[in-house]
Structure 1
C-alpha cells in the first residue's frame, strides 16, 4: 500500500497483514541482487534428486548468488545428517521396483490366462464353438504368455538396473560425495558455528512451552515430531537467521528459500485470500532486525535467479525442480499428525497381517490417541523392516515406541524396566513411549512379544 494513507501508524504497523502479497515485483529484484539468501535443508537435499545435467544448472544458478548465501548451523546439520538417507531411499525405491515388477507381471500373466479361459467358457456355453475355443488356446497359449512375460520383464528390469548405477550410487557416495563437496565449496566459510548449549536449550524450551502451543510460526506443525529438540528444528533455524540478520545493519533483506509450504510457514487460503507466507514472520523479522523478508519456493527462486541474474536454466530443469520439491515434501506421519489422521484401512490390515496379528488387536487399546499412534507405528515399522511391500503413495512414518538414551525424551516416557523381564532386551537402557506401554499391556503374551520384538529390531536398525 502506497500513498499518504500508508503513513498512518495503524496501517504502517500492520502492513504485512493488510497487503495481499509479498513485496512488489520491482522490489523483488533487490532481494536477489543485495539480499542475504538462506536455503532451507530441503533445497540442498533436492540436489540429490536431480539428473546430472539439471544439477549442474541448479548449482550454476546458486553460484550466481554465492556471495549472498549464508548457511545456518541447523540447516548444515540437517543436510549432512539426511543426505545419506536420500540416497539410500533412492536405492530402496529401485530395489522395491524390481520386486514390484515381478509381482505385477506375474499378476498380469495370470489375469491374461484367466481372461482367455473366461472367453473360452462363454464360447462353449452360449455357442458350442469348440473351434474358436481351440484357436484362442493356440493364440493365447501359456507358452506365448510366458515368452511375452519374459521379454517384458527383461525390458523393464534392464531399465531399473541401469538406474541403480546412474549418477549417484550408494557405494560411490559412501566414498566420495560429489554433491557434498560442491555444496561445501558453494558456501565456503559463510556458515554458522554451533549455538551455545545453554542458548540452544532456551530456544527449545521457548518453542515447546510457548510458541508451539500458541501456533506461532514457524515450525509449530512439527510439534510432537520425535524429541523436543528435533521438533524445534524450523524454529532453531529461524532464531539463528534472526541473530545473523541483526548482527549487521547492512543485512537489510532476507530471501528465504524452502519447499516447506505447510501451515506453520504459510497462512492457509481463506475468505478470498490466497495462501501466502505468514505476515507475522515478516513483522517479527523487521521488529527484531530491521530487515525485510521474502519467502519463495525453489521454483520461484530459480526463476527469479534466471530473470534477474541471467542464469541459464532450461525448461526441463524447472520441471525437475518442481518434481524434486514434491518428492521431499510428501507427507510424514508424526505423533502430532497421527492422532489427527485415520490410516487407510487396507494399509492397517496389511501391517497387522504382515506380523501375524489379528485385526482386533488395535481395538483392545481403549484410548483413541494411543490406538492411532499404535496403528501408524505398526504401518511404519513393517515397511521399514521390509515385512511387507509398501503401498502406492504410502506416507513415511516417524513415530518411536522406544528410545535408548540416558534421559527420557519426555517426562511421560517410562523406563524400560516396566516391560516384562525376558521379553524386552533393553530394560536397563531404554525409555518406552506411554502409548506403546498402554498397547502392549492390554494384549496377549504372544502378541505382546511380537510387538516388543518389532520395537527392538527398529531400535537396532536405528543404531546400526
Structure 2
C-alpha cells in the first residue's frame, strides 16, 4: 500500500484469553533460569508445619532457586501475622495432642459398647465371657498407650525448638539470609486504600483473585490476596520475565479445579491479566509440585515422602471443611455477648445494623459510639476479628462463618471513606431473634416521630450531593404531594421517589435517648 503500511498480526490457536496451554518441562526450566519465582505465605509457614525431612528438602530447593525468588510485601505481612499462632509454630505438638485425645476415648468406648452388649444378651453372670472381655480391654489399653508413645516421639522429632524467640527460631535463621534483598516494597497508603476498595469491587463481581476471602474475613484482611496480586503485577512489569507463583491456596479464585484427567491450572483471568499488564506468562505450582519439578530439573534428589507431606498439608487445609458453613443462634449469641463485654460499640453497631435490615450507615455509627466528627473509622472492625479468632481457637466457631461486619466504601466525593457497614444477609434474622428486646437492641427516642423522620432525612441526604436548600420532612413530602418528580440539590435534580424510598428504608433506625 502507498503511504501506509498495513500491520498484520499472526494469530495462532492459543492466542485468546480463553485458551490454555499445558506447561512443559521446558517452561519450568526457563523460569528456574531466568524467571521470577514468587512464594505465597503458606510456602513459608509450611516450614513450621512440615516434618523434618520435608523442611530440609524445601529449603534445599529454595536455596537452589535463590536468585529467582521474590516475596511480595503482603506475604511478609501475612507471614508475621500468622507465625505466632499455635497451629503454626506448635503444629506437631497440637496435632499430637489431638490424636492422643482421640485415642484415649477408644478404651472407654470399647468398654461401654461391650457392657451394653453383655447386658443386652444377659451375660452379666458369665465369668468366662467377663474374663475374655477384660483380656481384650487390657490389650486395647496397651495398644493405645504404645500408639500414644509413638505419636509423642514423632512430634518430638518433627517439632521445632526455639521458635518462641526470633533469635533462636531455626526457620527465621534460614529465611533471613535466603530472602535478604528479595522482598518487595509496600504499597503507599493511598495505593493500598485504593487496592482495598478495588478488591471489594472485584469481590462483588467475583473477579479473581481473592473474592472467596470476602465471604469469611473483614475487608482489610480479605483484600490481602488482591494486594499481593497488585504487587506481583507491578514486579512482573519491572522485571519483564515470566512468573511462577508457588502457593498452597486451593480456592477457586486462584485455580480452575482438576477436571477428570485434566490437572488443576491457574484461572484463565489471572493468566490473561498478567499477559495484558506485563506482557509475560503466568505459571502456578503447589509447594509439592515445586519439589517434584525441582527434583527433575535441578537434580536435587528430593525425597518423594516430602512431596507427599506437602500435598497432605495442602489437602488438610480444606479437609473436613463444610461446603456451606454459617452462624447459628447459639454461635451468634456467644459471639455478640463476648464482643459486647469487651467492645460494646462494635456489638451495638452490629445489632443496630440487624435492626435496619443488615446495614448501618456512618452517621449512625458515630451516634452510637459518641465519636467526634473528625475521628476515622479505620480499624473499626478489628475487634470483631479478634473475638472471632479467639472463639475459633476455642472451638466455638469453625472459622468458616461469614465475617459479620463488612465495610461499605465510599461516595463519589470520598471513595476511600467507609460509608457504613453491612451484615451478611443470613445473620440478620438470627440477630433479631436472639437480641431483639435485649440491652443491645436500639430503642426509639421518647420524643415524637418527627425527630426520627428528621434523622432519616439527614441519613438520606448524606448519600446525595451537598444541597443548596434546607432539607426537611415537610418540603420533601410537600413536593411529593404536589406531584413534583425531583427536588433541586446542588444544581442537580434529585428524584423525590429516591428520597422517600430512603426515608422508608431508614424508618427502623433508632438511637438511644441521650
TM-score by length of 1: 0.68
Q: Which has the larger radius of gyration?
A: 2
Distance 2:26 2:11 in 1: 24
Matched, 1:384 2:388: no
Deviation of 1:401 after TM superposition, in Å, equals: 4.8
Distance 1:247 1:28 in 2: 21
Deviation of 1:326 after TM superposition, in Å, equals: 1.6
CA, structure 1 residues 349+278, in 2 after alignment: closer, same or farther (shift >3 Å)?
A: same
Number of the residue aligned with 1:51: 51
Number of the residue aligned with 1:417: none
Distance 2:203 2:27 in 1: 32
Distance 1:444 1:161 in 2: 46
Number of the residue aligned with 1:140: 133
Q: Which of the residues 301, 308, 312 maps onto 1:323?
A: 312
CA contact (8 A) 2:243 2:281 kept: yes
Number of the residue aligned with 1:313: 302
Distance 2:234 2:262 in 1: 31
CA contact (8 A) 1:35 1:253 kept: yes
Distance 2:253 2:186 in 1: 25
Distance 2:334 2:186 in 1: 43
Number of the residue aligned with 1:196: 188
Distance 1:174 1:323 in 2: 26
Distance 1:149 1:267 in 2: 46
CA, structure 1 residues 354+224, in 2 after alignment: closer, same or farther (shift >3 Å)?
A: closer
Distance 1:271 1:162 in 2: 40
Deviation of 1:178 after TM superposition, in Å, equals: 0.9
CA contact (8 A) 1:219 1:232 kept: yes
Matched, 1:173 2:163: yes
CA contact (8 A) 2:254 2:266 kept: yes
- Write the mapping of 1:158-307 to structure 2, written as runs, cut at 5 A: 158-168=149-159, 172-175=162-165, 176-209=168-201, 211-248=202-239, 251-268=240-257, 275-307=264-296
CA, structure 1 residues 288+11, in 2 after alignment: closer, same or farther (shift >3 Å)?
A: same
Number of the residue aligned with 1:459: none
Matched, 1:397 2:400: yes
Deviation of 1:366 after TM superposition, in Å, equals: 12
Deviation of 1:110 after TM superposition, in Å, equals: 1.6
> What SS is found at the alignment partner of 1:165?
helix
Q: Which has the higher helix share?
A: 1
- Write the mapping of 1:55-94 to structure 2, written as runs, cut at 5 A: 55-85=55-85, 86-94=88-96
Number of the residue aligned with 1:359: none
Deviation of 1:197 after TM superposition, in Å, equals: 0.7
CA contact (8 A) 1:351 1:382 kept: no
Number of the residue aligned with 2:481: none
CA, structure 1 residues 257+200, in 2 after alignment: closer, same or farther (shift >3 Å)?
A: same
Number of the residue aligned with 2:19: 18
- Which whole-Å deviations, capped at 9, do the CAs of 1:169-203 have from their partners, x for residues lacking one? 5x731123211221222112111122211001111
> What SS is found at the alignment partner of 1:313?
coil
CA contact (8 A) 1:36 1:254 kept: yes
Distance 1:230 1:38 in 2: 20
Distance 2:246 2:164 in 1: 28
Deviation of 1:28 after TM superposition, in Å, equals: 3.2
CA contact (8 A) 1:348 1:379 kept: no
> What SS is found at the alignment partner of 2:22?
coil
CA contact (8 A) 1:105 1:149 kept: yes
> What SS is found at the alignment partner of 2:243?
strand
CA contact (8 A) 1:218 1:265 kept: yes
Number of the residue aligned with 1:38: 38
Runs (5+) with no aligned partner, structure 2 = 1-7, 336-353, 360-386, 407-416, 441-514
- Which whole-Å deviations, capped at 9, do the CAs of 1:1-20 have from their partners, x for residues lacking one? xxxxx964485641x5234x
CA, structure 1 residues 435+411, in 2 after alignment: closer, same or farther (shift >3 Å)?
A: farther
Distance 1:100 1:342 in 2: 24
Deviation of 1:208 after TM superposition, in Å, equals: 0.8
CA contact (8 A) 2:49 2:91 kept: no
> What SS is found at the alignment partner of 1:236?
helix
Distance 2:77 2:257 in 1: 29
CA contact (8 A) 2:355 2:432 kept: no
CA contact (8 A) 1:70 1:191 kept: yes
Number of the residue aligned with 1:29: 29
CA contact (8 A) 1:46 1:325 kept: no
Distance 1:73 1:380 in 2: 24
